[in-house]
Amino acid sequence: MSEWLIVGAGIGGLAAALALQRQGVLAQLWEQAPAFGEAGAGIQLGPNTTRLLRAWGLDAGLRKIADRPQALISRDARDGAELGRLDLSDFEQRYGAPYLCIHRADLHALLWAAIDSTQVLHRLDNAMVDIRLGAEGRPLVTDARGSVQQPGAVIGADGLWSRVRHTLWQDGPPTPTGHWAYRTMLPTRLLSPRWREPQVQVWMAPGLHAVHYPVRQGEWLNLVVLVESSDTVAAPGWDISRAPGQIQADLHQALRGLCPDLHDVLRSAEQWRAWALSHRAPLRSPDDMARGRVALLGDAAHPMLPYMAQGAGMAMEDAWQLAQSLAQWPGADASQVLQDYAQARWARNARVQRKAMRNGEIFHARGLQAWARNAALRMAAPRLMDQPWLYGAN
C-alpha cells in the first residue's frame, strides 16, 4: 500500500497516525503550525476513549497525567443547589475503563510521544494549500512550498475549518451558533476547598452553563463558561481578540443574578480565552466522511458543540475504526478501506452531534423547561446523566 498523508496534527491527526503506524502503513503527517503549544485547555475522556488509549498501550502514561473525577454533579446556577449526581468512581468496573479529565496539551504530548518517526514522517510548518484528484482518483496534494505529492490516500484531520473539506467537498463554511466558550485555568492552591474536589460540576442557567473539573494532578481547575449571544462571529482558532477586562465584564453581565460562588471564582481568573462556537449539521451518509481515496476525521468531518464532551473522543474513535478497516481489508485499494471506515462511523458520529445540540437546549433551558429539567434530575439523575450507549460501545 502506498504511503498515506494525514493533514493536521491535532489530537485526531496524531491518533490517526498512531492507528496507521500500528497497522504497518507508512504515512506523512503535515501540520501547518511551526511548533506545538498549550492549545486549548482541559477535556473530559469517557470510557469509550480511555479504553482506546489503553488498547494503544498508553495507559501507564495516561495515569501519570490525568485526573480521575469521582462524580459528575449537576447544579442550578441560580442558587447553587445540587440537582443530581452520577457516580464516576465505578466506571472502570462498569465500562472496562475509567472516566478521566486531562489537559489537552498533555494528551497531545502523550500521543506525539507514541509516534515512530521512522514510520510516520512528520513535517511541522507545512500547510496543505490545495488538493485535487488526478488519474484514477489518486489525490494530488500541494503544500505551501509548491511541492506536489501523490499519496495513496489522504486523511483530512485539519479541524473545523478543514482545507481538505473546503476544497473537495465544497459544502461551505461551518455555521456560527452564537454560542461562546470562555475558558480559563486556575491554580487550585489559591481556591477554597469547595473548588478543589475531584468532581466534574455543571452549573446550568437560562442561556448559559459553566463546567469545571481538576486537571494536572489536581493542581489546576479547568473552568469553561458557555454563553448564548447575539454575536454570531465565525472565526477559526481558540482565541478571539478580546481584552481580558472585556471578557470579565461580559461574563459578569451574563451571570448577573446567579450564584455568588460562580462570581467569586470568575474574579479569581486572570486570563481568559474566548472561542466562538461553530458547527455543521449532523452527518447524513458515509459520503460526508469519505470520497474515493480521501477521508475526513474528527472535527473536519463532524464538528459538534462541546455539550457531550466527546469531540476528542469521536476523533479517536474515528482513528480506531480506520485501523480496524485496514485490518479488515488487507491489501485492498485505499478507497475500499475508507468506504468501510465511513460506513462504520457516520451514524454514531451523527448521533453524538445531535445529542450535543440537544444537551445545549437542556443545559440552557428557560422557564417551564428549566423547571422540568430540574425536577427530572432530582428524581432520576443517575439514569439521565449516564450514557451506556456511548460509553459502552466503540
Query: E strand or H helix at 327, and its extent?
Result: helix 311-328
> pLDDT per residue over 271-329, tens digit each?
888 888 999 999 999 999 999 999 999 999 999 999 999 999 999 999 999 999 999 99
| pLDDT greater than 90 at residue 99 | yes
Residue 96 Rama label (left phi>0; alpha psi -120 to 50; beta): left
Task: Give the closest residue to 157 by CA, choosing from 308, 32, 325, 344.
Answer: 32
Determine which one of 95, 213, 307, 341 is catalytic.
213
Q: Give the C-alpha distances (Å, rounded to integers) separating 224 from 113, 328, 368.
A: 28, 41, 26
Its CATH architecture, for the domain 1-35+124-174+280-361, is 3-Layer(bba) Sandwich (3.50)
Q: How confident is the model at residue 236, as a pLDDT?
A: 63
> How far does CA 1 lie from the centroid of its chain?
30
Ranges of each domain in the chain: 1-35+124-174+280-361, 40-103+175-278+364-394
Contacts of 278 (CB under 8 A, 6+ apart): 160, 173, 174, 175, 176, 177, 234, 303
C-alpha cell, 335: 478507497
| pLDDT greater than 80 at residue 23 | yes
Q: For the packed helices 334-363 and 367-385, what is the interaxial angle rounded to 10 degrees?
A: 130
Rounded to 5 degrees, φ, ψ at 118 are -80, -15
Give the torsion through C-alpha atoms of 208, 213, 215, 217, to 10 deg: 170
| pLDDT greater than 70 at residue 37 | no
- Catalytic residue flag (residue 99): no
CATH number of 40-103+175-278+364-394: 3.30.9.30
Rounded Cα–Cα distance for residues 348 and 345 (Å): 6
Arithmetic mean of pLDDT, 103-111: 95
Task: Give the closest residue to 255 by CA, choosing from 206, 218, 289, 222.
Answer: 206
4-7 and 139-143 beta bridge pairing: unpaired
In this prediction, residue 240 has a pLDDT band, given cuts at 50, 70 and 90, of: low
Q: How confident is the model at residue 74, as a pLDDT?
A: 98
For 171-186, the DSSP string reads --PPEEEEEEEEEEEE
